[in-house]
Each structure stands twice: as structure tokens, then as C-alpha cells.
């Protein structure tokens, strides 16, 4: 079935949990402002490599689905995607058969997408595809009781890679590179994406919780949102660990704001995001000073970049394609940093640190940076996760190693509950 065979109908929705029931196949992207979750699959949109050069196909496909209902961000056909970190690879997005949406002010809606040839019965296909989404047919998932965690590179090997990066930065080859550690997880029970999503959401209610194609987590970082003509990004770079003690964490927040190293690392990202968005905007500004955002075991420097788009307004996916990867997950300058990153990480990041979010037929959408999550494998007793750090001149390899441990621990806590 193609998009030309489909019709979407949007109606006011009944109160429905913003999170999918445990054990259910789903897609979801939840934030304090707006949450969407879907079930069933009306259509999958495949993007050939390199995926950023083909994002227009998503807009064309969604525009081909007839929408019978009120407009507005997140209404009508919506495509969810967890896009690869590597720009030179293919990608895919899914258009669910049933989509439940809600906004922070309590507005709710449901969109059903079905066969246009069915006329007034077009919702039948989507209803059948998702008929049991909130039913009781699925067995309750069982938490793992045994978990094996292995590091692809040993701690010493990974610290040596950081030291190599610091040396190259000192020689002037680049100014920053983000290096991530890969961890592999094996469990004695299948990991359930819906259960993990609930745990991530509960642990980080202010974050962007996501679950798409087995990639599940809660990212604190907004890559970009486009709602109407308003564009926002909330880059984060510069990090210190949290202790759990409010007084100590307050002092560390002050240290973070006063750190020359962290402020410089942060400014690289803010400048890159601002300068990338500016050509599309009639107005764009960034907060004059960063704030400190708590994100589980760590706290980050963060600066809101916000503006209004000029005409013609780009789709959020056009902005995603231009921004990704920002210096917060890649480094700077981009080309040099990505080359060093690929050499020293010795790992395929998959969806880690890639854009994750949703886009509607009007080009509205929200995409976060795909961090603080886990990729469940085809064998659901296996999973991969990454924890990354920004390496700049003066970085301490062993301190950076400890930062990856703190970040990974938060993800593993949701994964295992042991």
C-alpha cells in the first residue's frame, strides 16, 4: 500500500495513557509540551544513503495521505524516526496506523490511518492493526534476573583513545571530538521496550522520552523543534557529575558555569547551531548566558536558541539534516572530528546520538539527540548502549572514563532493575 491509497482521520481523543502498555509494539515520543504515541504500521518510509539528502521524500509521502480532520502540530499522518548517527547510511521512518496525541494544556486527539478505498470505513484497517493496543492479551513482561555487561574496548584501551585525541587536539588537528564507549548487554529475559520507556520517563520527566524501532531512552537534549514558524534548539555541552546532595550539586553547578574549559566547549556548539539555523530564520537569538540542566547522574550547560522561520518554511527534517551531528555529539571542525571519532571509537554507533523524533505532514516536528538510551537487538535478550564525552584540550582521560560510567549507570538502571 502506498500513501496514495491511505486516508487519515483525526478526531478529539479520549483520555489515554501517553505511554504504551507493557508488552505492546509501539512508537512514542513524549515531552512536557506534547506527546505522541502510535501503534500498528500504516506505512514505512525508506530513505537511501546518505539519508540527509533524501528527507524531502518524507514530506512528499506524508502530503500524499489525505487528511480528514483538524490541522495542527502532530495531527494527521505523522512519521516517527530514529535516524542513524552516520549520515552516509540509509534510514527509515514509520507512519503508525493509530496515533494518540496530547498537549500540556490537556488537548487530546486520535488519528487513524486506513485504506482510502474503504471510504467511511477507512479506519477499519488501522483499528484492526491496533485493536489490542490497550487490551489484556499480551503477557506481562518479566524483568531480567541475570545481566551480563561487557565493554567493547577495555577501560584502559578507551582511556588511551582519549589520550590520543587530546594529543591530536594539542597539535592543532581539531578543537574537539566526542568519543563514546560501547557496552553490550545480555539478559536472561527479553527486554520490553514499553516497560523501559515507562522507567526512562519516570526517572526523567522533563526529558524527551522516545521509543522507535527498539531504540528506547530519554534524552535531555532538544536537537530542533519546528511548530508553525517557531524554531527552537536547546544544545547541551559541558558536563560535571552530580552527587545527589543538593548543596554539593549546587556548588558543582557553580563550578560548571565558572569553568573555562566547559564554557568554551559549550560555546562551540551554540555557535554552530545558531549559525546553521540562521539562514532559514527571519529572527534568531540565543540566551546570553547558559543555564545548568540536571540530567540524572550528570549536569550540563545548556543554552536555548529560538527564533522565527522565514518563507518558505522548511520542514523540521530539513533542519535536522542541516544540524546533525552538532559539535555536542561529533566535535569540531566537523569533518576532522568525525574522522578522528571513527578511528578511535572503533564502533558503529547505529542510532546512538542520531536524531530521534517525529514530523507531520505540515513539516512540524520535534527531534531530540538520541542519547541516554539503549538499542534492543533483534534478539531481545541482547542490547547495545553508548556513553559519550566531549574531549578538548586539557581533558583528563580517566575523568572522562568516570563520566561515561555515570551516564551508562543511569541507562543500565532502567534496563535491569536488579
Average pLDDT, the chain: 91
CA–CA dist 265, 241 (Å, integer):
16
C-alpha distances in Å from residue 123, one per residue of 3, 27, 98, 153: 15, 19, 9, 50
- The whole-number pLDDT of residue 32 equals 86
pLDDT digits (tens, 9 = 90+) for 25-73: 899 999 989 999 999 999 999 999 999 999 999 999 999 999 987 789 9
How confident is the model at residue 132, as a pLDDT? Answer: 44
Q: What percent of the chain has pLDDT over 70?
A: 93
Question: What is the third-level CATH fold of 147-416?
Answer: Anthranilate synthase (3.60.120)
**What pLDDT digit, counting tens, does each position of 128-144 carry?**
444 445 555 566 788 88
DSSP type of residue 399:
H
- Say whether pLDDT at 308 is over 60: yes
pLDDT in tens, 283-302: 999 999 999 999 888 899 99
Angle formed at CA 376 by CA 375 and CA 381, multiple of 5 degrees: 145
Q: Where in the chain is the domain with CATH 3.60.120.10?
A: 147-416
pLDDT digits (tens, 9 = 90+) for 315-331: 999 999 999 999 999 99
Cell numbers found for residue 135: 487490551
Q: Which pLDDT value is given to residue 60?
A: 94
Residue owning grid cell 539527540: 369
Within 86-131, strands assigned E span 91-95, 98-103, 108-115
What is the pLDDT at residue 241?
Answer: 86
- pLDDT tens digit string along 72-96? 999 999 999 999 999 999 999 999 9
**301 or 2, higher pLDDT:** 301
Return the pLDDT at 243.
85
Angle at 386 between CA 382 and CA 389, to 5 degrees: 170
Left if phi > 0, otherwise alpha if psi is -120 to 50, otherwise beta: which for 50? beta
Residue 219 has a pLDDT of 97
Half-sphere exposure of 401 (CA within 13 A, CB side): 15
Render pLDDT for 355-371 as a digit per residue (tens, 0 to 9).
Answer: 999 999 999 999 999 99
What pLDDT shows up at residue 137?
58
Say if CB 347 and CB 385 are below 8 A apart: no
Peptide bond into 383 cis (omega under 30): no
pLDDT category of residue 125 using cuts at 50, 70 and 90: very low
* Residues designated catalytic: 176, 221
Amino acid at each position: 500500500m502506498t500513501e496514495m491509497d491511505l486516508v487519515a482521520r483525526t478526531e478529539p481523543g479520549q483520555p489515554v495513557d501517553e505511554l504504551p502498555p507493557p508488552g505492546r509494539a509501539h512508537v512514542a515520543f513524549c515531552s512536557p509540551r506534547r506527546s505522541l504515541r502510535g501503534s500498528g504500521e500504516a506505512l514505512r518510509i525508506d530513505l537511501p544513503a546518505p539519508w540527509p539528502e533524501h528527507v524531502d521524500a518524507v514530506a512528499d509521502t506524508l502530503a500524499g495521505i489525505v487528511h480528514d480532520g483538524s490541522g495542527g502540530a502532530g495531527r494527521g499522518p505523522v512519521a516517527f524516526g530514529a535516524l542513524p548517527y552516520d549520515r552516509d547510511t540509509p534510514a527509515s521512518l514509520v507512519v503508525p496506523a493509530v496515533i494518540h496525541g496530547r498537549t500540556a494544556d490537556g488537548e487530546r486527539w486520535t488519528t487513524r490511518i486506513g485504506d482510502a478505498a474503504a471510504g467511511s470505513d477507512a479506519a477499519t484497517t488501522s483499528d484492526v492493526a491496533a485493536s489490542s493496543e490497550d487490551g489484556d492479551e499480551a503477557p506481562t513482561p518479566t524483568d531480567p534476573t541475570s545481566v551480563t555487561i561487557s565493554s567493547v574496548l577495555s577501560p584502559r584501551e578507551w582511556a588511551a583513545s582519549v589520550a590520543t585525541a587530546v594529543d591530536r587536539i594539542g597539535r592543532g588537528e581539531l578543537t574537539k571530538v566526542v568519543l563514546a564507549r560501547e557496552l553490550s548487554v545480555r539478559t536472561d529475559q527479553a527486554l520490553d521496550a514499553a516497560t523501559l520507556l515507562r522507567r526512562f520517563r519516570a526517572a526523567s520527566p522533563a526529558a524527551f522520552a522516545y521509543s522507535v524501532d527498539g531504540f528506547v531512552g530519554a534524552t535531555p537534549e532538544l536537537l530542533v523543534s519546528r511548530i508553525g514558524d517557531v524554531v527552537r534548539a536547546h544544545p547541551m555541552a559541558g558536563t560535571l557529575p552530580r552527587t545527589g546532595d543538593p548543596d554539593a550539586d549546587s556548588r558543582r553547578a557553580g563550578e560548571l558555569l565558572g569553568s573555562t574549559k566547559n564554557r568554551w566547549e559549550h560555546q562551540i556548539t551554540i555557535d554552530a547551531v545558531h549559525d546553521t539555523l540562521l539562514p532559514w530564520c527571519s529572527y534568531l537569538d540565543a540566551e546570553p548566558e547558559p543555564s545548568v540542566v540536571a540530567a540524572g547522574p550528570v549536569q550540563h550547560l545548556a543554552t536555548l536558541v529560538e527564533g522565527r522561520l522565514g518563507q518558505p518554511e522548511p520542514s523540521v527534517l530539513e533542519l535536522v539534516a542541516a544540524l546533525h551531528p552538532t559539535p555536542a555529539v561529533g566535535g569540531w571542525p566537523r569533518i576532522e572530528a568525525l574522522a578522528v571519532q571513527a578511528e578511535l571509537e572503533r564502533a558503529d554507533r547505529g542510532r546512538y546520538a542520531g536524531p530521534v523524533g517525529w514530523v507531520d505532514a505540515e513539516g512540524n516536528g520535534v527531534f531530540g539527540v538520541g542519547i541516554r538510551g539503549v538499542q534492543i537487538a533483534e534478539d531481545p535478550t541482547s542490547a547495545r548502549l553508548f556513553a559519550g564525552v566531549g574531549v578538548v584540550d586539557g581533558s583528563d582521560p580517566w575523568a572522562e572514563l568516570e563520566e561515561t560510567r555515570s551516564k551508562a549507570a543511569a541507562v543500565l538502571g532502567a534496563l535491569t532493575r536488579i
